[in-house]
């Protein structure tokens, strides 16, 4: 009985979850959303007139200095200085070219073409009254926008002065350095004919090196401005425009003005770069960045509405995305962008249509106009990462493996929870989106001598030598060559074993010879015995006993 209950429990766990949809719409909760009501604008401007004038003065001074060196007799020092001046001139020219790229190019006047256009309009009437009203309305809008921009710039109270100070201070230092360098160059140009002393050459070379460092800094600043302009043209905030530390100051100002509820809060400071926007204006050698920070409204729940035909009738939403809270609602036709776990919708993209959709979700009562709808084929939609919406046109078979395989049939609109299942519907296979995170563990190989190592016996164990032993060794070394070392006999010395072996060998030989001697009994019997001569001569000869 217990085994049967366990089997039933496993089957319930592994069964595919299918829920019948009985409402003409299926709202799928996406998350939470904020509506961007307005934007707070920070102005950040860079005046490029000062660095341009400084670079031109530096370039002219270097050219004069280089020309003055031509009147000097060529030697090692003058050639070295000319090479350095050439490098600085090259950097100065490159920086000037980069500054000029930022400036607006004047337009070519088209007075003659405009006059011809006016005559053509008067003769042929190519622009009718409706078009004229249409264009006038647009011109009025443009004028109004221009006036709003002027008023906005006049009434802007939170201009971020620290941004402009960063660059203005650098350019001011550059201008001061240029003045000092110009004065020194004027002085050196009068004394250039007498540069034969090594100290004078090194002093002048040091000035050129300092100027080279300043020009490299200017080059980096111009590269940073170029990057900022590129991102601003894409309406994107970048760290080249506002650094993260400066962005934190901006957020602090916003919270003081509007409160925490109106300012988005993210865990990562870099997330604000994708939410803030930037506009660019380049005019009269001034680069102006307009940084727009969004100001939020109250929070809403965010839904996507899917139509579901019930008895061949359904509600078709004109805007499939719904923002809903207890007091208000909004609809939109496109999914709003998301940052971290929040969605953000611009208020100008929202609409107030089909209030019955909000009523269905809040109360369950349907006051929407339904539309008759017929499906010739089964409709399958994956409404989120873990759920399918199946609207069958006929009896539809569903095969699943989760991990036990199963076969199901549905005849009415239903949702299917995928979880860990694979589902096949009309030859199409679906499964939940899976995200795996594998932690990589880096293991160093074991280094050293283990118990199984063949080199274990080669470990040298050094014991401490006491002071008495060291003194004894020193005394032996000092008396080496005059003192005879006497060694006491040791019972285990190898020569004792050798002597013992020789004694045994001699005893064995004597015993062998003794056995070969004739006995007394043979003498009395008188039997004559012949003595055989030994085969080895080392033992000598023996006389017979006749």
pLDDT category, 344, cuts 50, 70, 90?
Answer: very high
Q: Say which range, 86-95, 102-111, 257-266, 508-517, has the weakest mean pLDDT.
A: 102-111
pLDDT exceeding 70 applies to what percent of the chain? 62
The pLDDT of residue 10: 33
512 in a domain, yes or no?
A: no
Mark which of 193, 227, 261 sits at the end of a domain.
227
What's the 3-state SS for 367-432? CCCCEECCCCCCEEEEEECCEEEEECCCCEEEEEECCCEEEEEECCCEEEECCCCEEEECCEEEEC
205 in a domain, yes or no?
A: yes
Domain extent for 223: 49-105+125-227
Strand positions, DSSP E, 202-328: 277-283, 286-307, 313-314, 321-324
411 in a domain, yes or no?
A: yes
Q: Say which range, 8-12, 122-126, 364-368, has the weakest mean pLDDT.
A: 8-12
Q: Say which range, 33-37, 105-109, 213-217, 311-315, has the weakest mean pLDDT.
A: 105-109
Mean pLDDT for the chain overall: 71
Residue ranges of the alpha helices (H) in 103-197? 111-124, 129-155, 161-191
How large is the average pLDDT for residues 196-201?
A: 59
Into how many domains does the chain fold?
2
pLDDT category, 33, cuts 50, 70, 90?
Answer: very high
Please count the other Cβ atoms lying within 10 Å of the Cβ belonging to residue 51.
24
pLDDT category, 186, cuts 50, 70, 90?
Answer: confident
The pLDDT of residue 3: 39
* Angle at alpha carbon of residue 112, lines to 106 and 117, rounded to 5°: 110
Residue 441 has pLDDT above 70, yes or no: no
Residue 13 has pLDDT above 60, yes or no: no
Task: Tell the residue number behind the tokens 């916003």, with chain if given.
Answer: 254
Strand, helix or coil at 59?
A: helix
How large is the average pLDDT for residues 116-141?
A: 57
Q: What is the value of pTM for the model shown?
A: 0.53
Pairing of strands 25-47, 342-346: parallel
Residue 63 has pLDDT above 50, yes or no: yes
Q: Which residue has the higher pLDDT, 464 or 59?
A: 59
Dump pLDDT digits (tens) for 397-434.
Answer: 888 887 777 888 888 888 888 877 888 888 788 887 65
297 in a domain, yes or no?
A: no
Take residue 460 and report the two structure tokens written for it: 């040298």
Pairing of strands 428-431, 422-425: antiparallel
405 in a domain, yes or no?
A: yes
Pairing of strands 428-431, 371-372: unpaired
Residue 117 has pLDDT above 60, yes or no: no
Dump pLDDT digits (tens) for 474-531.
Answer: 554 455 444 443 444 444 445 566 676 677 778 777 777 767 655 444 443 343 434 3
Q: How far apart are CA 188 and CA 61, in angstroms?
A: 11
How does DSSP assign 214-247, residue by residue? HHHHHHHHHHHHHHHHHHHHTT---TTTS-HHHH
Mark which of 186, 211, 227 sits at the end of a domain.
227
Q: Which residue has the higher pLDDT, 114 or 184?
A: 184
The pLDDT of residue 465: 43
Positive or negative, the CA dihedral 327, 332, 338, 344 is negative
The pLDDT of residue 371: 82
Q: Which residue has the higher pLDDT, 231 or 114?
A: 231
The pLDDT of residue 303: 92
Helices (H) and strands (E) in the chain, counts: 13, 17
Q: Which residue has the higher pLDDT, 32 or 459?
A: 32
Residue 142 has pLDDT above 50, yes or no: yes
Q: Which residue has the higher pLDDT, 305 or 5?
A: 305
Residue 92 has pLDDT above 80, yes or no: yes
518 in a domain, yes or no?
A: no
Mark which of 398, 431, 464 sits at the end of a domain.
431
- What angle do the packed helices 49-69 and 161-191 form, to 10 degrees? 20
Nearest to 251 by CA among 228, 227, 268, 235: 268
Q: Say which range, 55-64, 139-148, 207-216, 483-492, has the weakest mean pLDDT.
A: 483-492
Q: How far apart are CA 60 and CA 96, in angstroms?
A: 12
Residue 352 has pLDDT above 50, yes or no: yes
280 in a domain, yes or no?
A: no
The pLDDT of residue 302: 92
Tell me, what DSSP letter sits at residue 29?
E
219 in a domain, yes or no?
A: yes
């Amino acid at each position: 009985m217990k085994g049967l209950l366990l089997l039933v429990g496993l089957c319930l766990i592994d069964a595919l979850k299918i829920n019948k949809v009985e409402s003409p719409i299926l709202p799928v909760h996406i998350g939470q959303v904020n509506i961007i009501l307005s934007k707070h604008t920070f102005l950040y401007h860079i005046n490029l007139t000062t660095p341009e004038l400084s670079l031109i003065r530096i370039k002219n001074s270097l050219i004069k200095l280089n020309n003055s060196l031509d009147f000097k007799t060529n030697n090692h020092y003058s050639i070295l200085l000319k090479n350095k001046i050439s490098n600085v001139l090259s950097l100065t020219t490159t920086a000037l070219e980069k500054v000029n790229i930022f400036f607006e190019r004047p337009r070519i006047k088209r007075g003659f073409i405009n006059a011809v256009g006016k005559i053509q309009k008067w003769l042929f009437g190519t622009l009718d009254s409706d078009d004229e009203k249409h264009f006038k309305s647009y011109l009025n809008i443009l004028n109004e926008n221009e006036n709003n921009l002027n008023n906005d710039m006049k009434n802007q109270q939170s201009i971020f002065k620290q941004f402009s100070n960063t660059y203005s201070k650098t350019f001011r230092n550059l201008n001061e350095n240029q003045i000092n360098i110009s004065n020194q160059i004027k002085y050196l140009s009068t004394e250039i004919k007498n540069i034969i002393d090594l100290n004078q050459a090194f002093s002048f070379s040091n000035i050129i090196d300092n100027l080279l460092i300043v020009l490299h800094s200017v080059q980096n600043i111009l590269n940073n401005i170029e990057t900022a302009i590129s991102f601003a043209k894409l309406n994107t905030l970048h760290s080249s425009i506002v650094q993260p530390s400066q962005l934190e100051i901006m957020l602090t100002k916003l919270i003081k003005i509007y409160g925490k509820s109106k300012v988005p809060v993210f865990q990562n400071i870099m997330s604000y770069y994708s939410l803030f926007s930037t506009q660019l204006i380049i005019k009269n050698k001034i680069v102006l960045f307009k940084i727009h920070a969004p100001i939020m409204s109250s929070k809403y729940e965010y839904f996507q509405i899917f139509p579901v035909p019930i008895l061949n009738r359904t509600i078709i939403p004109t805007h499939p995305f719904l923002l809903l809270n207890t007091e208000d609602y909004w609809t939109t036709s496109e999914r709003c962008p998301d940052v971290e776990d929040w969605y953000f919708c611009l208020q100008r993209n929202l609409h107030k249509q089909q209030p019955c959709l909000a009523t269905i979700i809040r109360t369950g009562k349907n006051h929407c106009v339904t539309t008759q709808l017929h499906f010739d084929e089964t409709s399958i939609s994956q409404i989120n990462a873990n759920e399918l919406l199946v609207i069958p046109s006929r009896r539809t078979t569903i095969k699943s493996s989760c991990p036990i395989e199963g076969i199901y049939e549905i005849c009415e609109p239903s949702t299917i929870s995928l979880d860990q299942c694979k589902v096949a519907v009309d030859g199409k296979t679906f499964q939940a989106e899976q995200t795996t995170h594998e932690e990589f563990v880096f293991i160093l190989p074991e280094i050293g001598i283990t118990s199984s190592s063949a080199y274990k016996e080669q470990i040298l164990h050094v014991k401490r030598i006491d002071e008495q032993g060291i003194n004894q060794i020193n005394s032996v070394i000092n008396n080496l060559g005059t003192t005879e070392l006497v060694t006491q006999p040791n019972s285990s010395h190898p020569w004792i074993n050798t002597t013992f072996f020789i004694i045994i060998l001699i005893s064995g030989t004597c015993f062998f010879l003794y056995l070969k001697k004739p006995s007394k009994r043979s003498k009395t019997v008188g039997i004559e015995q012949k003595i055989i001569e030994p085969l080895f001569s080392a033992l000598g000869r023996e006389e017979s006993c006749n």
